Amino acid sequence: MQRTRSVVGIISAFALVAAACGDDSGAEPTAAPPESTTARPESTGATPESTAATPEAGKRPGEDVTVSFARANWDTGYFQAAVYKALLEELGYTVTDPSQAELSPVTFYPLLAEGKYDLWVNGWFPLHDDLLAGELPDGNLVGTKAQKIGAEMPAGALQGFIIDVATATQYGITMLDDIGDDPVIAALFDTDGDGKADIAGCNEGWGCQITINDTIEFNGWTDTIEQKSGEYSALWADVVARAGRGESILAYTWTPTAYITQLIPGQDVIWLSLSQPQPDQVGAAALPPDQCPGQPCEMGFAAADIHVVANNTFLEANPAARRLLELVTIPVIDVALQNVRMLNGEDTQLDIDRHAQEWIQANHDIVNSWLTEARSAAG
pLDDT band at 155 (very low <50, low <70, confident <90, very high): confident
Asked if 70 contacts 117 with a C-beta cutoff of 8 angstroms, the reply is yes
Which residues make Cβ contacts (< 8 Å) with residue 144, sequence separation at least 6? 113, 312
Give the 3-state secondary structure of residue 69: strand
Nearest 5°: phi and psi at 244? Answer: -65, -25
Give the pLDDT confidence score for residue 236 in this predicted structure.
96
Asked if 214 contacts 278 with a C-beta cutoff of 8 angstroms, the reply is yes
Collect contacts of 341-344 with beta carbons under 8 A, ≥24 apart. Answer: 341/40, 342/75, 342/78, 342/79, 342/258, 343/6, 343/258, 343/261, 343/262, 344/6
Most confident of 12-21, 327-336, 368-377: 368-377
Closest CA to 361 of 37, 116, 120, 132: 37
Give the pLDDT confidence score for residue 12 in this predicted structure.
54
From the number of C-beta atoms within 10 Å of its C-beta (0-12, 13-18, 19+), residue 358 rates as middle
Beta strands in the chain (DSSP E): 66-67, 71-72, 94-95, 102-103, 119-125, 146-164, 197-200, 225-228, 250-255, 269-272, 304-311
pLDDT in tens, 192-219: 999 999 999 999 989 899 999 999 999 9
| 24 HSE (CA, 13 A, CB side) | 0
User: Most distant CA pair in the chain: distance in Å?
Assistant: 70
pLDDT in tens, 295-321: 999 999 988 899 999 999 999 999 999
Nearest 5°: phi and psi at 72? Answer: -75, 155
Amino acid symbol at 227: Q
pTM: 0.75
Domains defined along the chain, listed by start: 29-154+305-377 (3.40.190.10), 157-281 (3.40.190.100)
The residues with which 100 forms a beta bridge, in sequence order, are: none
